[in-house]
Amino acid sequence: MTEQILSHLRALYEPAVAKTTYTALQVLMEQVRIPIPDATTPFSERDIALITYGDTLRREGEAPLETLYDFLCSHLSDLVSIIHILPFSPYSSDDGFSVVDYEAVDKNLGDWDHINKIAYEFRLMVDLVLNHMSAQSAWFKAFLADNPGYADLFFIESPDTDLSSVTRPRATSLLTPFNKDSGEKVHVWTTFSADQVDFDYRAPATLLRMIGVLLFYIEQGASIIRLDAVAYLWKQVGTSSIHLQQTHKVIQLIRAILDEVAPHVLIITETNVPHQENISYFGDGYNEAQMVYNFSLPPLLLYTMKTGDVTLIANWINSLKQLSERTTFFNFTASHDGIGVRPLEGLVDNETIRELAAFVEARGGRVSYRQNTDGSLSPYELNITYVDAVASPDADETTRIKQFIVTQAVMLALSGMPAVYIHNLLGSHNDTGAVERLGYARAINRAKLDADALLDELQDENSFRAKVLETYQNLITARRNCPCFHPNVSQQAFATHDNGVLVIVRESGSQTVYAMHNFTDRPATVTLDIAGWHDLLSGDSGENGNVEVDPYGIRWLEVRN
């Protein structure tokens, strides 16, 4: 392992620098005190992740992390095994992704004791925001003051440099001017916003600082590390500055370090890009991330519901490959961000993406844009709750719930680990008031909920939230109790009934599951070459292969081979 770590460092830095960096890294690793649990498989069919902000649920006079903990233990302990708490450090913008202090918990949320409690009951997933930090942070202020310990921490570039080849995820300026305490003006690389200043990993001290943060999080109980915006980590003038080999080497280095000091900890990369670029972060299946977000899934499901044609998503599912028994996809339909449309590139044409954007706007959503290398703008992200994206506003409530749930059932039936955003689980609608109040489109799906009012709604079995949660619970329970839904069990998909019904076949040992999902408003009779079946969801059984599927209906049929 020592030689492997050294090899990664030599790929990043000159030999002498790599050696001194390794010596410093050894000190960091030797100081770590991380209890390593008994050897276990990295994931199973019982693993479901919940994505939430630390303050999505609020109660007067109570720390939001305590409110979250109570809700998790009282309502979700039998449903989810992993809790992804979105950035909980003090921040200055971007709802946590502009970190001010990596080693502190935002006092408005709670403290490390609250985080530790959640980590004790569930597997904890945390964000390592390693591409940038807040321009309001003490680190950046020390950089502007020419403090020697921070001299090379952030990436400076001349505004006269030709940066036209750089891939942009935003329509904002790539360089932001700042005045140092000495009066010198510097232009700092800011990939995402003027308040998010990018690190310079050409300096080994920067790498060591962030490795220190990583190990600190693991000491606090984190067992899954999300590498936020990692694709943009290494910058190099004259290139796209995305997916560079040096970036992959940094991830390989992190993996090698964790394999040494915390082999139970998983890495997940967040790269909202076209599919082939995204899956490159699996590496060879053993040397980079154990999980990558399945970013093409959310917009594909939206497209499928819009068209009522499952052909495209069936073909895409059949193209997915598991690289090794140590890797899997992180399947989701919604998160704190919007529905990224770059992952549709290569699957549909640009006109189809523009039509999806217009479709979302017609349903009360917003569209965020990115700047292309020629200066033009393209849709980057659709900002809308997933319920309001896929459920027709003209339909009755029962139909809207079925339209939403059928998309969630596909996500849960696929090979990979499912991740459920809390506002999906609770059936939240667009928070357009927050968009107007806060001034940014992503606020539409980041509502803050009064915990007691929410509990009252959930106790009312006729409320929209209660109906959504109950239906979701049934799906999750069925998945967790069926070995065919193990993340690495093989899958095959096909379209049937005039391409309106998606069938996903999962087979494990003597058991096969045919997961059927109707994306139309018409009942369907699906004919399968099976003798008898048992529906994991309804409890129904049948003696032949002619199976009725309701409009927007779901059947998960268990068959003994």
For 547, the enclosing helix (H) or strand (E) is strand 546-549
For 549, the enclosing helix (H) or strand (E) is strand 546-549
- Using one digit for the tens of pLDDT, what is the confidence trace for 139-197? 999 999 999 999 999 999 999 999 999 999 988 899 999 999 999 999 999 999 999 99
- Using one digit for the tens of pLDDT, what is the confidence trace for 81-106? 999 999 999 999 999 999 999 999 99
Nearest to 532 by CA among 556, 558, 504, 555: 558
- Return d(Cα 379, Cα 47) in angstroms, integer: 33
Confidence of residue 521 (pLDDT cuts 50, 70, 90): very high
What does pLDDT average to over the chain?
Answer: 96
- Return d(Cα 296, Cα 205) in angstroms, integer: 36
The pLDDT value recorded for residue 509 is 84
* pLDDT of 496 higher than 70: yes
- Using one digit for the tens of pLDDT, what is the confidence trace for 403-452? 999 999 999 999 999 999 999 999 999 999 999 999 999 999 999 999 99
The pLDDT value recorded for residue 560 is 78
The pLDDT value recorded for residue 339 is 96
Token digits for 326?
């140590």
Token digits for 479?
């998945």
* pLDDT of 40 higher than 90: no
Helix, strand counts (H, E) of the chain: 17, 25
Terminal CA-CA length for the chain: 44
- Return d(Cα 338, Cα 166) in angstroms, integer: 23
Q: Which residues are catalytic?
A: 228
At residue 249, φ and ψ (nearest 5 deg) are: -65, -35
Q: What is the b/e burial string over 432-448, where b = at least 16 CB atoms within 10 angstroms of the residue's CB?
A: eebbeeeeebbbbbbbe
Length of the chain: 561
pTM: 0.96
Q: What is the b/e burial string over 80-108, where b = at least 16 CB atoms within 10 angstroms of the residue's CB?
A: bbbbbbbbbbbbebbbbbbbbebeebbee
- Using one digit for the tens of pLDDT, what is the confidence trace for 308-326? 999 999 999 999 998 899 9
- Work out whether strand 541-542 and strand 533-535 pair parallel, antiparallel, or are unpaired: antiparallel
CA-CA-CA-CA dihedral for 458, 460, 462, 463, to nearest 10: -50
Q: What is the mean pLDDT of residues 45-64?
A: 98
Quick check: helix, strand or coil at residue 345?
strand
Q: Which CA distances in Å does 424 have to 2, 26, 204, 282, 293?
A: 44, 43, 41, 27, 17
Sign of CA dihedral 344, 346, 352, 355: positive
Q: What is the mean pLDDT of residues 10-33?
A: 95
* pLDDT of 396 higher than 70: yes
Residues 6+ apart with CB under 8 A from 140: 133, 134, 153, 154, 197
> DSSP state, 89?
S
Q: Which CA distances in Å does 483 have to 110, 258, 462, 474, 490?
A: 38, 29, 33, 16, 11
> What's the burial of 34, exposed, middle or buried (CB within 10 Å: 0-12/13-18/19+)?
middle
Contact between 242 and 163 under an 8 Å Cβ cutoff? The reply is no
The pLDDT value recorded for residue 1 is 60
Q: Which CA distances in Å does 137 have to 98, 101, 209, 234, 273?
A: 9, 7, 14, 21, 29
Confidence of residue 543 (pLDDT cuts 50, 70, 90): confident
Higher pLDDT, 375 or 4: 4
Contact between 51 and 61 under an 8 Å Cβ cutoff? The reply is no
Q: Which CA distances in Å does 443 have to 6, 91, 342?
A: 43, 16, 20
Residue in this structure with the two tokens 């006269």, named with its chain if needed: 160
> DSSP state, 420?
E
* pLDDT of 54 higher than 80: yes
- Return d(Cα 46, Cα 65) in angstroms, integer: 24
Structural domains of the chain ordered from first start: 491-560 (2.60.40.1180)
